[in-house]
């Protein structure tokens, strides 16, 4: 997958997160979890863009680590949405799968970068 394809994919991911958060119940727990999810979920794409501007291998690896952390946090909030019953699992499952795929891609990139250095 090219750098541009990953930029597009992580941006699309952020837009899907925004759409999901808009659909959450307007309850205290829905708003609180939604706020957390929107921060971490949109951060994935923003931080990946920073990865693309890394000036060294060490910076590249470090910034990719931030992307992994934010995606992992997003996965946590998606699991909380499912397990708390805020939304049906069937509605969240595709986004959770995308989260796991993004994490896998980024972890593989970290491993490749470490092996090259």
Supply the Cα-derived Rg of the chain in whole angstroms: 15
Residues 6+ apart with CB under 8 A from 97: none
Q: What is the mean pLDDT of the chain?
A: 97
Residue 65 has pLDDT above 80, yes or no: yes
Residue 23 has pLDDT above 80, yes or no: yes
**What's the CA angle centered on 89, arms 85 and 91, to 5 degrees?**
110
**What's the CA angle centered on 97, arms 83 and 70, to 5 degrees?**
80
pTM for the structure as a whole: 0.95
Residue 32 has pLDDT above 90, yes or no: yes
Q: What is the pLDDT of residues 75-102, one digit of tens each?
A: 999 999 999 999 999 999 999 999 999 9
- Return the biggest CA–CA distance within the chain: 49
With contact defined as beta carbons under 8 Å apart, do 12 and 39 qualify?
Answer: no
With contact defined as beta carbons under 8 Å apart, do 14 and 45 qualify?
Answer: yes
pLDDT, residue 1, reads 87
Residue 44 has pLDDT above 80, yes or no: yes
The CATH number given to 3-116 is 1.20.1440.60
How far is residue 39 CA from its own chain's centroid? 10
pLDDT, residue 117, reads 76
């Amino acid at each position: 997958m090219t750098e541009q394809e990953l930029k597009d994919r992580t941006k699309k991911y952020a837009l899907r997160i925004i759409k999901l958060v808009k659909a959450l119940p307007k309850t205290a727990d829905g708003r609180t979890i939604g706020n957390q999810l929107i921060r971490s979920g949109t951060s994935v794409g923003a931080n990946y863009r920073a990865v693309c501007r890394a000036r060294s291998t060490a910076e590249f690896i470090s910034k990719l680590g931030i992307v992994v952390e934010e995606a992992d946090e997003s996965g946590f909030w998606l699991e909380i949405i499912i397990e708390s019953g805020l939304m049906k699992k069937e509605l969240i499952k595709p986004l959770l799968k995308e989260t796991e795929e993004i994490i896998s891609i980024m972890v593989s990139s970290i491993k490749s970068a470490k092996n090259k250095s």
